[in-house]
A and B are shown apart, each in its own frame.
With several copies, the nearest count.
Chain A
Amino acid sequence: MKLEKPKLATRQASLEFLKVLSSNVDNIAGGSADLTGSNLTKTPDMNSVKPKKFKANYIHYGIREHMMGAVMNGIALHKGFITYGGTFLVFSDYMRSSIRLSALMKTKVIYVLTHDSIGLGEDGPTHQPVEHLAMLRATPNLNVFRPADAVETAEAWELALKYDGPSILALSRQGLKTFRDEKGNDNLTSKGGYLVKDFGNKRDLTIIATGSEVEIALETSDLLLKDNIKASVVSLPCWEIFEKQSEEYKLNVLGEKLKVGVEAGSELGWHKYIGSNGIFIGMKTFGASAPANHLFEHFGLSSDKIREKILGKINT
């Protein structure tokens, strides 16, 4: 086993990607709806658009999410810029209509939506998305990425830049282990989903997770191994792309044994992957105000609790 890398929030990984991007291209029109330091959308070398200063690449949209989406559509339609804009995932609510128009027109607009779950912590339920991944995944033409570590984040960014349409990057506030070895040249996120821990034909079950819950799924798999249960783990950062893979590939990834979905959001949509017999562990209610680690525990999204649920299911 290799040395453990430092934990990195995917919003931080996104900033690292932007640093590379902005030093390579001179036509960025980035921005945020007054959450620059939280979304991590502005690299140190970017400079802000001001009333008489348009030779710049960063837009302070103010607290105007709805307009930010529309303005990004306008920038994309005008042509000439790579455009992205940030806010909290939960406030995609305020720009739903603009996101929908991005999807309908297939404008190349990248929505950088951070603080993507109860992992946001103390700000509480008004700030914690629950239904938003479902809402966005249900929207045609929209690629919704929820990367699980720094490498997946870079891959998602790359795919978003290549896609002729809008993308959502749902990013974590909290630090996440880097489980992927970034030396490989393959963009695994380009498959939409793939095995991050694979017991081959010895697998007893599959845990499918996205984003910050992949780390928890891997921990759960480790725990289960002590129970002599072999749980393969799938990261599913982009459902839309995964859907486009061959049936064979999908079956190979998901397996035919018990499937367990883990995502700190609504269950809506998950049964396509976990089947009628599967277990979903996520958010049945709105969140709460507390430190993030308390919330994951409270809502049953810890490896301990997930292990228990799986054992409960297996033993009935």
Chain B
Amino acid sequence: MSKTSELNMETLKKMSNAIRVLAAEGVQKANSGHPGMPMGIADVATILFSKYLNIDVNKPDWPDRDRFVLSAGHGSMLIYALNYLLGYSDMNIESLKNFRQLHSNTPGHPEYGDTLGVETTTGPLGQGLGTAVGMALAERMSNAKFGKNLVDHFTYVIVGDGCLQEGISHESIEFAGHLKLAKLIVLWDNNSISIDGNTNLSNSSNQIARFKASGWHTQSVDGHDFDQISKAIENAQKTNKPSFIACKTIIGFGSPNLAGTEKTHGAPLGDDEVKKVKEELNWKSNPFEVPKDILSNWRASVERGLKIRKEWEDRFNKSPKKINLLKIIQTIYPKSLIKI
């Protein structure tokens, strides 16, 4: 499925820092939002989106695309920054500058229907995970109907500490484990921080053991090590169980004074600290500007998805099941079912 990326570490780091800076700047401009989560998970997201996630930004509703769910919805700037970098047609620099403003397509939390590529509304913690289980189940049920040729995609979810504390996570983990939803891959933003402070204020569970108990494939990686992340995703794609990857991260990574603390969770870093982030990350551009070479690297990465989508379309056009699939995707119901 995936081949080792030609992008070298340094390039990846820059691509990832682009997310960090845009997130910090977007939140700063809005004077409201959650910079820490996108900055912390940026390395994981960079690997996932540039190397593995099969989407086509020009055809965001292509049926056999991989699904991506940001269950930790407060990290919405992650999606907006990514979507800008990937080149979604609705996501330009103006959008990022209008973060959290009325009628913008960059609302405080990802809202289904407001933004291309946002597969579901998230924000109420844990809901994204449950919803993703539904997507992964629908994928398997569709696959059983239409075969691997037409339906065969992954569902990736990023969850935070909050998602995993909520009860719905238990219900979802048990159920997905029971059904062996092998194409479901959950990445945990394991930053040991939530709003009240260190998560050890209220938690001391062993999450790996917990997921194992429900029949999941589990791995732990350094969430700032590109190689480890890549390998873990590749392993996860191969197992016959749903997969859990605990990614140890530092919330607000890149912020010299605030990284690793709850202060980066839900408030702007402050103008000064944003400056320092840029120094720390050796980021020379003006606000909301991404250096051309980095933008090109991101934009080039979407070719992979485009190609895969086109291959799928060829198979689809040749398939005798085409009509049926189309009909069902549009969820057409028989006209009169009223007689009982």
* Contact between chain A and chain B defined by CB under 8 Å: yes
Contact of A20 among B142, B171, B339 (CB under 8 A): B339
Bound-state CA distance A155–B338 (Å) is 6
Determine whether A43 belongs to the interface, using a CB cutoff of 8 Å to chain B: no
Most buried by A among B32, B104, B121, B131: B131
With A93-B124, A122-B100, A154-B338: A79-B195 Cβ-Cβ less than 8 Å: no
Contact of B131 among A54, A74, A150 (CB under 8 A): A74
Most buried by B among A64, A121, A127: A64
Contact B123 A75 (CB under 8 A): no
Contact of A125 among B111, B127, B179, B338 (CB under 8 A): B111
For A295, the chain B residues whose CB sits under 8 A away are 102
Give the interface segment out of B159-167, B253-261, B301-309. Answer: B159-167
Determine whether A77 belongs to the interface, using a CB cutoff of 8 Å to chain B: yes
Shortest CB–CB separation between residue B114 and chain A, in angstroms? 9
Shortest CB–CB separation between residue A139 and chain B, in angstroms? 14
For B4, the chain A residues whose CB sits under 8 A away are none
For B102, the chain A residues whose CB sits under 8 A away are 288-290, 294-295, 298
Of all chain A residues, the one with the shortest Cβ separation from B112 is: A105
Contact of A62 among B30, B103, B120, B203 (CB under 8 A): B203
For B199, the chain A residues whose CB sits under 8 A away are 62
Contact B134 A72 (CB under 8 A): yes
Shortest CB–CB separation between residue A163 and chain B, in angstroms? 11
Question: In chain B between 97 and 123, which residues have their CB closer than 8 angstroms to a CB of chain A?
Answer: 100-104, 107-109, 111-113, 119-123
Number of interface residues of B (CB under 8 A): 73
Bound-state CA distance A125–B107 (Å) is 9
Bound-state CA distance A35–B74 (Å) is 14
For B145, the chain A residues whose CB sits under 8 A away are 26-27, 55
Contact A289 B109 (CB under 8 A): yes
Contact of A78 among B109, B139, B166 (CB under 8 A): B139
Contact B144 A55 (CB under 8 A): yes
Determine whether A145 belongs to the interface, using a CB cutoff of 8 Å to chain B: no
Contact B175 A62 (CB under 8 A): yes
Determine whether B135 belongs to the interface, using a CB cutoff of 8 Å to chain A: yes
Determine whether A134 belongs to the interface, using a CB cutoff of 8 Å to chain B: no
With A60-B201, A289-B107: A74-B132 Cβ-Cβ less than 8 Å: yes
Determine whether B130 belongs to the interface, using a CB cutoff of 8 Å to chain A: yes
Determine whether B6 belongs to the interface, using a CB cutoff of 8 Å to chain A: no
Determine whether B224 belongs to the interface, using a CB cutoff of 8 Å to chain A: no
Give the interface segment out of A44-52, A204-212, A301-309. Answer: A44-52
For B168, the chain A residues whose CB sits under 8 A away are 66-67, 70, 97-98
Give the interface segment out of B17-25, B82-90, B327-335. Answer: B327-335
Contact of A101 among B113, B121, B328 (CB under 8 A): B121
Determine whether A126 belongs to the interface, using a CB cutoff of 8 Å to chain B: yes
Most buried by B among A62, A79, A155, A187: A62
Shortest CB–CB separation between residue B200 and chain A, in angstroms? 9
Bound-state CA distance A97–B328 (Å) is 28
Determine whether B340 belongs to the interface, using a CB cutoff of 8 Å to chain A: yes
Number of interface residues of A (CB under 8 A): 83
For B129, the chain A residues whose CB sits under 8 A away are 70
Contact A64 B337 (CB under 8 A): no
Shortest CB–CB separation between residue B189 and chain A, in angstroms? 14
0/1 interface trace, chain B 307-333, chain A, CB 8 Å (1 if under): 000000000000000000000110101
Contact A67 B338 (CB under 8 A): no
For B74, the chain A residues whose CB sits under 8 A away are 123
With A157-B337, A289-B111: A78-B134 Cβ-Cβ less than 8 Å: yes
Bound-state CA distance A77–B122 (Å) is 13
Most buried by A among B30, B175, B203: B175
Shortest CB–CB separation between residue B280 and chain A, in angstroms? 26
Contact B179 A51 (CB under 8 A): yes
Contact B109 A123 (CB under 8 A): yes
For B124, the chain A residues whose CB sits under 8 A away are 90-91, 93-94, 97, 100-101, 126
For B333, the chain A residues whose CB sits under 8 A away are 25, 82, 161-162
0/1 interface trace, chain A 28-43, chain B, CB 8 Å (1 if under): 0100101111100000
For A93, the chain B residues whose CB sits under 8 A away are 124
Determine whether A311 belongs to the interface, using a CB cutoff of 8 Å to chain B: no
Contact of A77 among B104, B108, B135, B171 (CB under 8 A): B135
Contact of A126 among B30, B73, B141, B175 (CB under 8 A): B73
Of all chain A residues, the one with the shortest Cβ separation from B133 is: A71
Contact A74 B137 (CB under 8 A): yes
Determine whether A158 belongs to the interface, using a CB cutoff of 8 Å to chain B: yes
Contact of A17 among B73, B122, B337 (CB under 8 A): B337
For A6, the chain B residues whose CB sits under 8 A away are none
With A60-B202, A66-B168: A74-B138 Cβ-Cβ less than 8 Å: yes
For B112, the chain A residues whose CB sits under 8 A away are 77, 104-105
Determine whether A63 belongs to the interface, using a CB cutoff of 8 Å to chain B: yes
Determine whether B180 belongs to the interface, using a CB cutoff of 8 Å to chain A: yes
0/1 interface trace, chain B 21-48, chain A, CB 8 Å (1 if under): 0000000001011000000000000000
Determine whether B67 belongs to the interface, using a CB cutoff of 8 Å to chain A: yes
Determine whether A111 belongs to the interface, using a CB cutoff of 8 Å to chain B: no
Q: A66-B167, A78-B138, A127-B109 are in contact. List 17 more A-B contacts (CB 8 A).
A: A24-B334, A26-B145, A49-B141, A49-B179, A52-B180, A54-B144, A64-B171, A64-B174, A67-B133, A73-B130, A74-B120, A79-B329, A98-B130, A105-B120, A124-B100, A125-B111, A289-B107
Q: Please, could you name 9 A-B residue pairs with CB atoms under 8 Å apart, sorted by A?
A: A25-B333, A67-B130, A78-B67, A81-B331, A97-B127, A100-B124, A126-B109, A155-B338, A157-B337
